[in-house]
Structure formats: structure tokens, C-alpha cells
């Protein structure tokens, strides 16, 4: 299945999952599981949530992860500071990268908004350099928009 079709199917599944429960943690837990079972060549998928002016670890699938990330640090903290999607082809070239899993080589991070404020990020890592591209950015942007609409 090509990426455009994969993301259309994935986003349709997400819509069904998140519209059936009012609980945010449940939505995010199933969203991370959905990503992990659907995307190839990834080794971590999950969420960091804003709390007390920093990102704290939320629901995820993968190895043990960093529990707190300051705003402006690493790919996740930079995504929040800039309020933009970070698509990093080689994390080892990213200044200040936080290596929670040394097997990760590329990463994509998308801010999540509620009421005009960033409430967290979706973070996906891959052991493959340059794993993520513009089709991933577009498909995952819609994924995040579905979460935002249902939070």
C-alpha cells in the first residue's frame, strides 16, 4: 500500500477509535498502538504532554523513554518552542538531540493544539536514516488534526 492510501486508512481508523471514548489518555494510548502496528521501520511512537512548562512522557509504544523534556531541548522541545513540525532525517546531525534510544536515527515530531495552545506532541522515531518524508508529514498532520478535533 502506498503512503497516501496507508495514511487515509490509518486516519479513518483513528477517527473511529477517538470518537468512541471521552478519555484523553485512552485516545492517545490507542493512537500510539495504531501507529506502531501500522507504520513500518519505526521503533518508537507516542506522546509527550505539556505539564508545568515542560513536556512529560505520555502514552507510547517502544523502549523506555525520557520522562521529561524541557521546552527548546531536543527535537520535541524544539517543536514546541517553534510551534512547527520537525522532520529530522538524521538525529545525529540535530544540535541538542536527546538520545533516549541510541537505535533511533530519524524522527518526526508534530505539535498538538487545544484552544490555541500546544498541549503536547506526537513523536515518532525510526532506526532508518531519512525514514520520514513529506507524505509522512501530511499523513501525520491529518492524524494530529483528528486528535485535536476530538480532545
State percent of the chain over pLDDT 70: 98
Please name which of 104, 10, 106 lies closest in space to residue 63, comparing C-alpha atoms. Answer: 104
Q: Which residues, in sequence order, are bridge partners of residue 89? A: none
Contact 138, 131 (CB under 8 A): no
Which cell is 11 given?
486516519
Contact 105, 83 (CB under 8 A): no
User: What pLDDT does residue 101 have?
Assistant: 67
Instruction: Report pTM.
Output: 0.95
Question: How far is CA 62 from its chain centroid?
Answer: 12
Mean pLDDT by 10 residues, the chain (151 residues): 94 95 95 97 97 97 93 95 97 79 88 97 97 97 97 88
Q: What does the pLDDT look like over 89-102, one tens digit per residue?
A: 999 888 777 777 67
Q: What does the pLDDT look like over 120-144, one tens digit per residue?
A: 999 999 999 999 999 999 999 999 9
User: What pLDDT does residue 94 have?
Assistant: 86
- Cα dist from 56 to 4, 65, 80, 89, 90, whole Å: 31, 10, 12, 24, 24
User: What pLDDT does residue 102 have?
Assistant: 73
Residues making up the chain, counted from first to last: 151
Q: How many CB atoms are located within 10 Å of the residue 103 CB?
A: 13
The strand ranges marked E within the chain are 44-51, 54-62, 68-70, 86-88, 106-114, 117-126
Amino acid at each position: 500500500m502506498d503512503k497516501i492510501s496507508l495514511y487515509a486508512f490509518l486516519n479513518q481508523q483513528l477517527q473511529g477509535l477517538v470518537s468512541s471514548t471521552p478519555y484523553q489518555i485512552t485516545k492517545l494510548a490507542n493512537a500510539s498502538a495504531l501507529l506502531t502496528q501500522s507504520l513500518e521501520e519505526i521503533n518508537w511512537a507516542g506522546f509527550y504532554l505539556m505539564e508545568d512548562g515542560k513536556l512529560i512522557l505520555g502514552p507510547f509504544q517502544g523502549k523506555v523513554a525520557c520522562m521529561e523534556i524541557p521546552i527548546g531541548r531536543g527535537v520535541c522541545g524544539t517543536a514546541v518552542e517553534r510551534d512547527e513540525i520537525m522532520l529530522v532525517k538524521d538525529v545525529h546531525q540535530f544540535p541538542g538531540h536527546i538520545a533516549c534510544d541510541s537505535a533511533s536515527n530519524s524522527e518526526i515530531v508534530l505539535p498538538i493544539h487545544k484552544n490555541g495552545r500546544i498541549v503536547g506532541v506526537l513523536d515518532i522515531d525510526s532506526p532508518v536514516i531519512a525514514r520520514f518524508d513529506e507524505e509522512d508529514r501530511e499523513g501525520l498532520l491529518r492524524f494530529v488534526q483528528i486528535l485535536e478535533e476530538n480532545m
